[in-house]
Amino acid sequence: MIQSYSMNSTSSLISPDVSGYQSHDIKPVKLGVMASGNGSNFEVVAQAIKSGDLNAQIQVLIYNNPLAKAAERALNHGVEAILLNHRHYQKREDLDREIVSTLRQYQVDLVVMAGWMRLVTQELIDAFPNHIINIHPSLLPSFKGVRAVEQALEAGVKITGCTVHLLRLEMDSGPILMQAAVPVLPNDTAETLHARIQVQEHRILPLAIAQVADKI
C-alpha cells in the first residue's frame, strides 16, 4: 500500500525497518476509521492517501464524541462521518453492534482506531478478526491505558514512544506491528513529550496500515 516513503535521520528509531518498502497490491484497501477527539491521526492517513503514499480509501469515520474535531476533518476530505454517541447505549456491546453494522454497511476491509477512547467488546473484535489496528502513545507493553505520557514521565523513563498493534480484548494488548522510540528530555512536560510522540505516530500509522493491508 505504500509506494514510497522517505525516512529522515531518526529512521533507526522505528522498528521494523520499512525503508524502501513497496506494496505489490493494486486494489486499494477500504478503511473504516474510529476516532474520539481531534482526529490528527485521521488527517495523516487521509493525507497519505491523497499524496499517493498509501493505497487505500477511507469509507467512513465513526466518532462517539459530538464535539470531536475528527468529524470536521472527515467532511473536509469528503468522507462521511457517523456519530454513534456512546451515551445513548446502555451496554458497550450494544454500541459495538451498531459500529459493526455501520462498518459492514460501508464494506470496510480494515478498521483503524485512531484515538478511539472507548473500551471495545468481543462483538467488534469477532466481526473483524485481526483486521482492527490501534495506535497508542507508549512503547507497549509499558504504560497501557489512559495518561500514557504522564505515566512515562512519572516513571522516570528515558525513552518512550508509540505503538501500532492489532486489537485484542485486553486494553492495549495484541501483536505489535510497529513502534517508534522517542527520547524523554530533562525538561519535558506531558504536552511537549506528547507532541514529539505524535510526530512519530503520524509516521508509523500509514506504514502499519500498509503492511496489514498487504496481507488482506
Binding residues for (6R)-10-formyltetrahydrofolate: 92, 117-120, 134
Q: What is the pLDDT of residues 99-130, one digit of tens each?
A: 999 999 999 999 999 999 999 999 999 999 99
Range of the domain at 40: 26-212
Residue entry with cell 489512559 = 146
| 6 found inside a domain | no
pLDDT of 9 strictly over 90: no
Tell me how far apart the alpha carbons of residues 85 and 104 are, in angstroms, rounded to a whole number.
Answer: 18
In this predicted structure, the answer to whether residue 152 has a pLDDT above a threshold of 70 is: yes
pLDDT band, residue 4 (cuts 50/70/90): very low
Residue 32 in any domain: the answer is yes
Domain presence at residue 35: yes
Coil/strand/helix, residue 8: coil
Which residue positions form the known binding site?
39-41, 92, 117-120, 134
> For the whole model, what pTM was predicted?
0.90
- Number of structural domains the chain divides into: 1
Give a yes or no: residue 155 inside a domain: yes
- List, in order, residues 6 or more apart from 84 with CB less than 8 Å away: 62, 63, 64, 95, 98, 99, 102
In this structure, is residue 3 part of a structural domain?
no
Q: What is the pLDDT of residues 58-111, one digit of tens each?
A: 999 999 999 999 999 999 999 999 999 999 999 999 999 999 999 999 999 999
20 in a structural domain: no
- Give me the active site residues, please: 136
